[in-house]
Each structure stands twice: as structure tokens, then as C-alpha cells.
Amino acid sequence: MNGKVVATPNQVRSAYEDFLGAFEKAVEDNAGQVFFPDPPLNSCFTDSGHGTVNFKRCLYIKDLPCRRLSGAKRLDVVIVGLEELERDHTWRVRKSTVYLNYFTVADAKAQLVQSMHFDFDENVQTDHPVFHVQMSADMISPADRQSAHFEIEAQPLHVSNECWVTTRIPTPDMTLTSVLYTLAADHLRTEIFTQFVKGVEPIQHRLPPLRFETIKTSVQKSLKHLKSSHWFVRALKIGKP
């Protein structure tokens, strides 16, 4: 990746911008805060060097409601979304990885309590579900956390679970916007989430679609995907050669 900023169609750039803005407003309406890096969103689209465009955006959500936490703690979440887009008239998503770190915060110190990432790669890796979530003990890098103004002293998980890296759980297509939609549904008050949904529905048709050729092959040529198009299409010899 050469890192050169790429001019993107207004429809693509504004779709991300409008969705993130709607999410920020919903969190703030629920008494939380969302922080982004200082550079504007249009600087997040960079040349990959091989005909595609990389999109990267970090965000820090402060004080996300969580009924299980005591009043002495709050829940903060740091997210890094990485997406690779085709640089043509379609601007489809070829690859997406979304990292999440959940921290409980008390006495100006943050404790990592859950870490995961959602993956999609159109060039499906052997024996991988096309879409999956993977648990880990990994913290998002200090540079990325600080870029989103998460400057609290952070501690790793108390106990690392070596088995997490061996389990990939198939999921629906969870890109950055899908993950934020889910966070809003899980944590925000019902009336605020309902307003958020109404606000982002008109944006959906402008968001870059996913590149689904591998999955189409799975659905059309074989029933061996166990009724789920999100499973192991390459391993079953029904994806790309």
C-alpha cells in the first residue's frame, strides 16, 4: 500500500460519512460520545497499489450503556474498520475486517474485557467461512487507539484464552456499518435505535455492496454449503479454482 489519498465518488464517500454521522448522533442522544481521528474522512481512502482502494476508519465510543456494569464502571469500545474496495464503476467491497475492543473503565484506567474481529474476504481462504467472527486477546494498536482520542491507560485481558484463535464462527455479512448497526441495537435505548434505523435506511443503497461471486457459485452449483451461503465454499471445491 502506497498510502496516497484517492478521490472517491461522492456517493461512496458521503455514504460512509452520513452513516458515521448518524451513528454518532444516536450515541450522543443516548448520553455517550463518539470520537474520530482528526483527519477528515476523505483522507481515509488510499491507493492499495494493485487496482483497489483501502478504506480505514477508527472510532472510539465512550460510555456505551451496559446493564451488567456497576455504577462505578463504564463501557468504552474502540473500533477499527478496514475495507478494500474495487476501483471501478461498481466500487464493491472485496475485503473487510472490523476490529473491536471492549473496555471497562474505572478510576481513569481501562481494562480490556473482550476482543474480536469480523472478517470477509472475497478471495476466500481455504477452510475459512466466507464471513466469520474470531475472538482473541489482542488489543488494537496504541497508535490506532490514540488516533481516535482513546488516551486512557489500558490493561490487557487478565487471562488469555489460547483456544480463541482456533475458532471462527460463521456470521452474516458484518462490515463496518453492519457492526455499528448491531452495537446501536444492543446498547442504545429502543426509541433512539428506532430513530437511528429510520435515519440510515436511505443511506443503504449508497454504501458499496459486497462482491459476491464466490458465494453465487456456491448457491448455484452445489447444495453442500449446508443451507448457508456463508460457509466453506472454497474448501468444498465450489468456489473459485
pTM over 0.75: yes
Q: Residue 160 has what pLDDT?
A: 66
Distance CA 171, CA 231 (A): 9
- The answer for residues whose C-beta is within 8 angstroms of residue 47's C-beta and 6 or more apart is 1, 2, 3, 4, 5, 6, 53, 54
Residue 178: per-residue pLDDT: 96
Contacts of 15 (CB under 8 A, 6+ apart): 203, 206, 207, 208
User: How much is the pLDDT for 222?
Assistant: 59
Cα(24)–Cα(185) distance, integer angstroms? 14
Q: What is the pLDDT of residue 123?
A: 79
* Per-residue pLDDT of the chain in tens (241 residues, 90 and over written 9): 458 999 999 999 999 999 999 999 999 999 999 999 999 999 999 999 888 999 999 999 999 999 888 888 999 999 999 999 998 888 999 999 999 999 999 999 999 999 999 999 887 777 778 888 999 889 999 999 999 999 999 999 877 666 666 778 888 889 999 999 999 999 999 999 999 999 999 999 999 988 877 666 666 665 555 656 556 554 444 444 4
Tell me the backbone φ, ψ of residue 5, rounded to 5 degrees: -65, 135
Q: Is 117 within 8 Å of 97 (Cβ atoms)? A: yes
**Which residue type does 162 have?**
E
